Chain A
Amino acid sequence: MAATSFSDDIRLAGVIMKNEFLKQRRGKRLLIFGIITAMILVFITAALAVVDNDIVESPRAFCRLFLGILTLFVIIGSTLFGATTVVSEFEERTALILFNRPIEKWSIYVGKFVAAFLIVSAYVVIYYVFVMIASMILAGGIADGMGMSLVCSLFYVFGTLGGAIMFSSLMKKSATASILTFFALFLLFDLVVSIVAVIAGFEDTWFMINSASSSIVDVLDPSIDVNVLRDILVMFVWGLVPAIIGFIRFRNKDF
């Protein structure tokens, strides 16, 4: 009889996480995302190295340029690794060999979420390392606040993955979940921000994930007053609440 303790549930989440890593390692997504990452980094770096401009003279401007497109990069990552993780079990009928095993649904869900978070986060870290090295070489230094920016980025990964796994739990098809995740994170939230701002007369839509994510870049500039803690909390809530909604749906979903 398997142990029924919380620690066993955590162990099982680890088993699921390991399986997710294996799936991604043997699938094409890691490669696709790796190519996208490399293309973004190499293209911008090459352009900066070739074209004569002021950006390479300032580490801050150099790093801001790269980090400015990081949110799009994270959205693509969350879509690739988060939006299909739950729905694929139903769509590909693998639930039939997983859900009938002695494992709590939350262990499956957490294992999948953590795996997706670690994969996207790993790419984000690689992205930062590359930017810092390139900045050292081309701009002669690294912008202050890169560490805090990385922390903000990881919370943004968490925030976007919450939405991705929610759509993955709600939808019946991987393609629908992926499209909804991408457009919600890329367009819809910005649209909502604009509408909310206009209708409600908010000057500062700090409570939206996309507004909070601006701290990823803004922490590099001491002239901008950034409430990092608040932004981190906003991104955390944007990850947690949809993830919980997704879990409730997942837990009650019949095969």
Chain B
Amino acid sequence: MSDTYPIEAVNLCKRFGTFTALDDFNLQVRRNSFTGLLGPNGAGKSTCLKIFGHLHKSTSGHAYINGYDVEKEPKQALTGMGSVIETPEFYLYMTPRETFRFTGDILGMKKEAIDAETDEILEKVKMTEWADKRLGTFSKGMRQRISLGLALMNSPEVIILDEPTSGLDPRGMAETREILRNLRTDNNGLTVLMSSHMMYEVSDLCDRIAMVNHGKLLVHDDIYAVLGEADHRNITVKTKTEVDADMLASIESLTNVVSATKDADSIRIQLKGGMDEESLLFTQIGELGIGAYSMSEGVNALEDRYLELIKESR
């Protein structure tokens, strides 16, 4: 238990018959971090989050939230935590406002505080105009926004999200990501642990990454440190002008650049190094005068590192 790590798994094991979903799993999630939990299907991500969310009992080991053992002291542990596990359903006979009231009552909040927080959160998740409509009529995206809102009730210090954009249409995904991005910007001392299959989402939202496979933690570090361990990073540069061989050659001659290839309407650059090297590349690309208007770290870098680690752990 530590003040530094509001989410902590200690030797956590979960077996379903002969299948081991979590195998002596250890994880310490740093305070104020937004950590992405990555892993293939069946790696143990959801099982881990469900144990933290008091929806599964562990076979052995401990899961702590803010220093409280989730299984031994669930009320204390869950009081400071909000969560969205899988795609939850609601009591469809209720309105969002009633659902917030119900949750607030469980959290022991006073009526005035519930009312004030409900309005504030519904505004934050852009559901104010739907506050008094029955949830039974809502789309999946709208329900997910309400789920996220509920997770924010009573200003939790910890939020656990299990594939929060799973099953949503592009608009729903974008809206959910925007809410999460705002959470990260607002921060307020929040610690978030989020599982996802989408590399773009993780690299967009998370500052730390924990990769898991076969119920074991493979790596857990800052996203740049994880990527730094890879042989290279993939950078995509978009230019206004037609990409030609001379342009590619001049890019390849830049410091730390391993290769530069034409990829549809952009240039894909393999770069050695971390943030500093990427920053230098940004300056040098500008100086080349090739009409570059966009430079982004490709999702592929994370994906490559992910696949590399998963392959190694087989």
Contact = CB atoms under 8 A, between A and B. Distances in A.
Contacts of A11: 108
B75 A100 contact: no
A2 B79 contact: yes
A78 to B, nearest CB: 22
B76 A1 contact: yes
Interface residues of A, number: 30
Given A4-B75, A22-B93, A103-B75, A255 B105 contact: no
A8 B74 CA distance: 14
Interface of B: 50, 53-57, 74-81, 83, 85-91, 93-94, 98-99, 102-103, 105-108, 147, 150
Q: Among the interface residues B57, B75, B105, which one has the most CB atoms of the partner chain A within 10 A?
A: B75
Given A101-B78, A254-B57, 11 more contacts: A1-B80, A8-B75, A22-B98, A93-B87, A93-B89, A97-B88, A100-B78, A101-B106, A103-B78, A254-B56, A255-B56
A4 B72 CA distance: 13
Contact of B55 (A4, A15, A92, A96): A96
A76 B81 CA distance: 40
Contacts of A2: 75, 79, 107-108
B103 A101 contact: yes
B64 to A, nearest CB: 15
Contacts of A4: 75-76
B106 A12 contact: yes
Interface string A1-20: 11110001001100100110
Interface in A93-132: 93-104
Given A23-B91, A94-B90, A96-B88, A101 B107 contact: yes
Nearest to A25: B93
Given A22-B94, A96-B55, A255-B50, A102 B88 contact: no
A4 B73 CA distance: 9
Interface of A: 1-4, 8, 11-12, 15, 18-19, 22-23, 26-27, 92-104, 252, 254-255
B19 to A, nearest CB: 13
Contacts of A23: 91, 93
A102 B75 contact: yes
A55 to B, nearest CB: 42
A22 B101 CA distance: 13
10 contacts: A1-B80, A2-B108, A8-B108, A11-B108, A93-B86, A95-B55, A99-B54, A102-B108, A254-B55, A255-B56
Contacts of B54: 99-100
Contacts of A12: 106
Contacts of A3: 108
Contacts of A95: 55
A93 B55 contact: no
B150 A97 contact: yes
A118 B165 CA distance: 41
A1 B107 CA distance: 9
Contact of A103 (B56, B85, B89, B106): B106
Contact of B105 (A15, A27, A254): A15
A97 B93 contact: no
Given A2-B79, A102-B75, A255 B106 contact: no
